[in-house]
Structure 1
Amino acid sequence: MTTPKGPDDEGTTARAPGARIRPADLLAAATAAVEAAQSAAGQALESAQLTAGHAFDAAVRLPPASAQLAAQLPGLIDNLTIAVDRLNSTIDRLDRTLALADPAFAAYDRLLPRLEAVIALGEDVFGALARLPGVSILGRVTGIGAKSGQAEPPPPAAPKRRR
């Protein structure tokens, strides 16, 4: 084989610096480069053929259900992408709605303790009124006791006559 330095003979020596390049040396270097390129291309082609053969063998051995699932995978990914986009837009919409409702929630937070205090005061007033003498009779006459959730006792049943 030849190299850029010349033929591989024992009698040849390396070129001296500053020596002129001969056309034969250039031709030998070009030939060596072409042979190396052809060898690399052949190896790459063999590797690609081997990989394609393994891929084909794997594809042939796949069960039909797996092949069908693999065929549906791009559509499923598209649907998942659409669902995630919708979820993101819904979350954004909910965030904007809650931001608008935040002042109302703050007002409710300030108002609820006052309402609870008013309700507790009303229950205390009804409790105090119930202890006054004569109010229970007034409640039964007016029917207020039945409306407020107190169960009114049923009227006594008429006695049955026996013979």
Structure 2
Amino acid sequence: MTNPKRPGRRPPTPKLPGMPGPADVLAAAQGAVEAAQSAASQALEAAQLTASSAFDAAVRLPPASAQLAAQLPDLVESLSIAIDRLNSTIDRLDRTLALADPAFAAYDRLLPRLEAMISLGEEVLGRLARLPGVALLGRLTGMTGTEPPADQPPAKPRRRRK
């Protein structure tokens, strides 16, 4: 006996080659659900592991280190301000040295002349000290030099004959 067709039933769709059937689609959906559940459980485990290690690190972190880490942004800001001030000071120093450069050049030209005048004055004093009677005059006036001239050996005490 054959079953008669019911009035509201559609005829079965013919299966085309390469087209999945309802059983294949159901199996693929179940596989996708299992893969999603597996990925979700792995993500949850990774999040728990990360939270656990972060908590362990926070517990092991000394309070002073946590305080320093909290102050780090302010310290970096202060450091950048100090560097800006240092740069402006260096620029100001460069401008000042550029203005003083002619004075330094004049000093460089003047110093050899001053050294020559000083050596000439020392030579004049040395020759004056060798003149007879100048040492006696210096002792009488209280203007004796504290050191003997450099080119003369110290005077030897003389013996008197009796």
The normalised TM-score by structure 2 is 0.57
- Segments of 5+ residues of structure 2 without an aligned counterpart are 1-16, 147-162
Q: Work out whether 1:76 is the aligned partner of 2:78.
A: no
Residues in 2 aligned to 1:102 and 1:45: alpha-carbon distance in whole angstroms: 72
1:115 maps to a residue whose letter is L
Q: Work out whether 1:98 is the aligned partner of 2:97.
A: yes
Question: Identity, % of aligned pairs?
Answer: 72
- Map residues 12-161 of structure 1 onto 2, 5 A cutoff: 43-44=42-43, 46-139=45-138, 143=141, 146=143, 150=145
Residues in 2 aligned to 1:86 and 1:121: alpha-carbon distance in whole angstroms: 49
Counterpart of 2:153 in structure 1 is none
Residues in 2 aligned to 1:98 and 1:37: alpha-carbon distance in whole angstroms: 73
Bigger relative contact order, structure 1 or 2, given CA contacts below 8 A and separation 6+?
1
Pair member with larger Rg = 2
Residues in 2 aligned to 1:44 and 1:93: alpha-carbon distance in whole angstroms: 59
1:87 maps to a residue whose letter is L
* Cα separation, partners in 2 of 1:130 and 1:78, compared to 1, 3 Å: same
Residues in 2 aligned to 1:39 and 1:104: alpha-carbon distance in whole angstroms: 83
The normalised TM-score by structure 1 is 0.57
Counterpart of 2:14 in structure 1 is none
How big is the shift at 1:115?
Answer: 0.5
How big is the shift at 1:46?
Answer: 4.7
- Segments of 5+ residues of structure 1 without an aligned counterpart are 1-13, 16-20, 152-163
* Cα separation, partners in 2 of 1:71 and 1:109, compared to 1, 3 Å: same
Q: How many residues align?
A: 129
How big is the shift at 1:136?
Answer: 4.0
How big is the shift at 1:84?
Answer: 2.0
How big is the shift at 1:120?
Answer: 0.7
* Cα separation, partners in 2 of 1:41 and 1:102, compared to 1, 3 Å: farther
DSSP 3-state at the match of 1:150: coil
How big is the shift at 1:119?
Answer: 1.0
* Cα separation, partners in 2 of 1:45 and 1:129, compared to 1, 3 Å: same
2:115 maps to a residue whose letter is E
Residues in 1 aligned to 2:112 and 2:52: alpha-carbon distance in whole angstroms: 77
What is the root-mean-square deviation of aligned Cα atoms in Å?
3.8
Deviations 1:41-78 (A, max 9, x none): 76556534432332222112222222222212222222
